[in-house]
Homo-oligomer: A and B are copies of this chain.
């Protein structure tokens, strides 16, 4: 039987911070993260899952806080020699991080599913929460830009998210299935909330919601679905969320974020910096400090979000 109380949808850095806060304020095993795999790609022949790994390292307490991605106490000998060899160095892989990519690639090649691998890896790293890739099938985020159509990592890392975004698509999404673990997690009698973490809605959360049946399964579960806005004062803490919204002709506001998630959402947590800006109509809103620099701030935002969801749940 699953003891899951909260399902969190998350991308990488910003989302993983709230996931850590949730993990810390919940009992062990009470958090399940459904993680974006639209950024996954094969690099140097290795299967790299940037958002899964950032979430894994963050929940395992071995994340690199300086970079926001990769591992703490990392070494870079591999990259130095790869550069001498004339290899591709635009995507930086630390020596310890590489072990996960090599081992995952080997296990996927031997026929294991991504969710089985991440389940095992999470356990070995001592992560109490469940890490669910949004799908075991390949869904690849493609970005239509002023420089043509780009694979996500080309756009995001190689070109530093500089090209102007015209549209975003998720190749393979139509045929993708949610991993078996999701139904099990949603079947938990203790489930009290589904939290959409403050990741980029267009690049990190939309791929998750593009998996057929996944949004309906979340909606159908009947617990409050609460998003935490990635905007603070109409801007993103990190990453190109606001830039992309402008490029797509979307107002950089919480009203637009709420409209984007639409019917999926029961409520929105917004930053106190945006309290005076016009709020989404008809949607319960909670004001909080959403900038999560310290561990305390992550826990506080997690508590606020869950208490808010619990109040909505009792009303619902």
Contacts and interface: CB of A to CB of B under 8 A. Distances in A.
Interface of A: 44-46, 71, 74-75, 77-82, 84-87, 94-100, 102-103, 105-106, 109, 120-121, 124-125
Given A44-B102, A102-B44, A102-B46, A96 B78 contact: yes
A85 B124 contact: yes
A102 B48 CA distance: 14
A249 to B, nearest CB: 40
Given A85-B124, A87-B103, A102-B45, A80 B109 contact: no
Contacts of A75: 75, 77, 95
15 contacts: A44-B106, A45-B45, A46-B102, A75-B75, A75-B77, A77-B94, A77-B95, A77-B96, A78-B95, A81-B95, A81-B98, A84-B125, A85-B100, A86-B120, A102-B102
Contacts of A103: 44, 82, 85, 87
A86 to B, nearest CB: 6
A85 B100 CA distance: 7
A99 B82 contact: yes
Contact of A81 (B85, B99, B106): B99
Contacts of A79: 99
A55 B86 CA distance: 20
A84 B124 contact: yes
A238 to B, nearest CB: 26
